[in-house]
Amino acid sequence: MARLCLTLEYDGTDFAGFQIQPNGRSVQAVLEAAVFEVTREERRVFPAGRTDSGVHARGQVAHLDSTTRLAPAELARALNAVLPRDMAVLALREVAPDFDARRDALAKTYSYRILNRAEPSPLRARFSLHLRGALDTAAMGEAAKALLGTHDFSAFRGAPGGAPEDERPRRSLERLDVETRGDEVVLVAEGRSFLRHMVRNIAGTLIEVGQGRRRAADVAAVLASRDRARAGPTAAAHALCLESVRYR
């Protein structure tokens, strides 16, 4: 038995999230079906993090155990031959038997892309949020500084039916940048773990700052309030992407 580590890329548009769903197409189910088709083994795939419905990944990491005789490179090619067009295995390697994609992750990096121009882009519509009015990126960057470090992020937590009672709301945000890349404004967030919808709720709040609907200085008070109602709306899922997962 070998433990294998996979790096995955997927377009989340037509997925109901990573985790297996009773009534929806999931990344996990599609990947496990491909593993079975290639190896004839029923194996559970464990991700570094569970992306929500509609969220993309450029560098998701997952692990699974297998007794296949295929070399890692051969297995990767075989999986890509049977996976649908909206998912691919970018890398596959054998790792230590105790490697855990989620527990061993030091940090995850997410990007939130905003197309900030008058005209929409059909080619980028699946991967960016289109906002016509010019955003004040300087104010957004100033507001973002208040969220860096370790805090109770209850004000930016969201989950259907409320957050799980055993979920601790303290998280550490190592990076929160507001970058201008041509006609796009890109929010880059990095931390070891995130609360459900946390990045999208932060994005929704910073967008309001960029639109002049709230002051940059108010974001610190929103964080301190621990009140979800004080923060901005949950930004659309399709503009969020898990860029990478960092390990030792």
14 included as an active-site residue: no
Residue 233: CB partners within 8 Å, gap ≥ 6? 201, 204
Each residue of 23-36: pLDDT tens digit?
A: 899 999 999 999 99
Q: How far apart are CA 29 and CA 44, in angstroms?
A: 9
Each residue of 177-187: pLDDT tens digit?
A: 999 999 999 99
Each residue of 85-141: pLDDT tens digit?
A: 999 999 999 999 999 999 999 999 999 999 999 999 999 999 999 999 999 999 999
Of 52, 100, 104, 136, which one is the catalytic site residue? 52
Angle at 50 between CA 49 and CA 54, to 5 degrees: 130
- Bridge partners of 247? none
- Collapse the DSSP code of 47 into the 3-class scheme (helix H, G, I; strand E, B; otherwise coil) and give the result: strand
Whole-model pTM?
0.95
What angle in degrees, to the nearest 10, is found between the helix axes of 198-210 and 137-145?
130
Domains along the chain with CATH numbers: 2-95 (3.30.70.580), 107-246 (3.30.70.660)
**Strands 2-10 and 87-95, bridge-based pairing:** antiparallel
pLDDT for residue 158: 86
